[in-house]
Amino acid sequence: MAVSSQVVAIWVKQGLEVFVETGAGAGSWFSDQKFADAGASVGSRKDVLNGARIVMKINPPTAEEITAMPEGCLLCSLLYHRNNAETIAALNTKKISAIALDAIPRISRAQVMDVLSSQSNLAGYMAVIKGAGHLDKIFPLLMTAAGTITPARILIFGVGVAGLQAIATAKRLGAIVEATDVRPETKEQVESLGGKFIEVKGAEVGSEGGYAKEATEEYRAKQREAVNKSLAQADLVITTALVPGRKAPILVDEEQVGMMKPGSVLIDMAAEQGGNCVYTKPYEVVNQNGVRIVGAANLASELPTNASELFAKNLVELMKLIVPKSELALDVNDEIVAGCLICHNGEIIHGSI
């Protein structure tokens, strides 16, 4: 659900009219009555869209949804515009302005409205919990009269928002955690959470625009050599590497899966973009010679209440920028608006589509 009743109350207090589709919040345990009590009008999709100036949703719209939207309105949703040219063209044909929530620049001023970061935080937590559910052993050191159980070893590829939350969660559960990333500056972050950073010396990649750059073949070869020992010892591996607008890079190939221990688990958080493991299948668990490879897609949705609350708070901050005085005002000279406004007034703003 893109909004919560608390957020609806904020907007109503600001003098905005808010319409919510019947049953839209059911999956997050937000009842229609709560939205009504907060001041929203609750009705059918047709009623909600009729005359709407701003349409807010989570996922990219379907062709049917675009047809139902009023011409000239503003859509705020995840769009993944580089991979959805047909959707963008359909929106532009109806002169629907579109803000891609996944394209909000990763700058300090925009952190409060960055839905990818808020959802990645939850996904990183959930990746560890899901890994624990698939693993046949506990995470912490346990000393009993019957003997000592050694702590689980966890290896994490990628130290972005999701990776850092996965490190923190795994450490709280008592595991030994190692992590690797193309950006050498993440070493301090890993160590601050109690993890060990696996350095890949002599072939650093770095970051651009808040995202890791795509690694070179030289880097991948050196990373492979550096992490293989840890990979062979790991009970749980979590991969998080994504490249905006492109297929996810392969970080764990056939040979490396063959190095992993029988009974070990790999949680692939990049499953929806092709996966970081060569055997990954989205939403499926693949058993490859005793190694369970989990195509973990849309993990934040498994925590729907928290995911909806955070998503809604991100939208509150975005609305402060684009509706500053209860009137829609898209300032295309603003760095944030310029970065995420994909089409406007019948024109494609981003030529890279």
Is 235 annotated as catalytic? no
Facing residues of 287 across strands?
292
Is 172 annotated as catalytic? no
Cα separation, 188 vs 75, whole angstroms: 39
What are 1-12's pLDDT values in tens digits? 889 999 999 999
* Catalytically annotated residue among 106, 224, 301, 334: 106
What are 202-220's pLDDT values in tens digits? 655 555 555 556 667 777 7
The mean predicted confidence, pLDDT, of the chain is: 92
* Catalytically annotated residue among 111, 207, 233, 288: 111
Q: What totals of helices (H) and strands (E) does the chain contain, helices first?
A: 12, 18
Is 111 annotated as catalytic? yes
Q: DSSP character for 235?
A: S
Q: In the prediction, which pLDDT does 207 show?
A: 56
Q: How confident is the model at residue 353 (pLDDT cuts 50, 70, 90)?
A: very low
Q: In the prediction, which pLDDT does 214 show?
A: 61
What angle (nearest 5°) sits at the alpha carbon of residue 197, between those of residues 195 and 203?
165
Q: In the prediction, which pLDDT does 209 show?
A: 53
Is 32 annotated as catalytic? no
Range name among 106-115, 123-132, 215-224 with the lowest pLDDT average: 215-224
Is 256 annotated as catalytic? no
* Catalytically annotated residue among 117, 118, 119, 120: 117
Share of the chain above pLDDT 70, in %: 95
Specify the 3-state DSSP secondary structure of 83.
helix
Residue 58 · residue 76 · CB < 8 Å = no
* Catalytically annotated residue among 211, 219, 288, 334: 211
Range name among 175-184, 204-213, 307-316 with the lowest pLDDT average: 204-213
Q: In the prediction, which pLDDT does 94 show?
A: 95
Q: Phi and psi dihedrals of 275, rounded to 5?
A: 90, 150
Give this prediction's pTM. Answer: 0.89
Token look-up 């607008």 returns 245
Q: How confident is the model at residue 245 (pLDDT cuts 50, 70, 90)?
A: confident
**What domains lie within the chain, and their CATH numbers?**
5-103+304-348 (3.40.50.720), 120-302 (3.40.50.720)
* Catalytically annotated residue among 28, 80, 102, 114: 114
Pick from 197, 135, 132: nearest CA to 170: 132
Please give the average per-residue pLDDT across 32-49, as a whole number: 93
Q: In the prediction, which pLDDT does 351 show?
A: 52
Q: DSSP character for 79?
A: -
Q: In the prediction, which pLDDT does 201 show?
A: 72
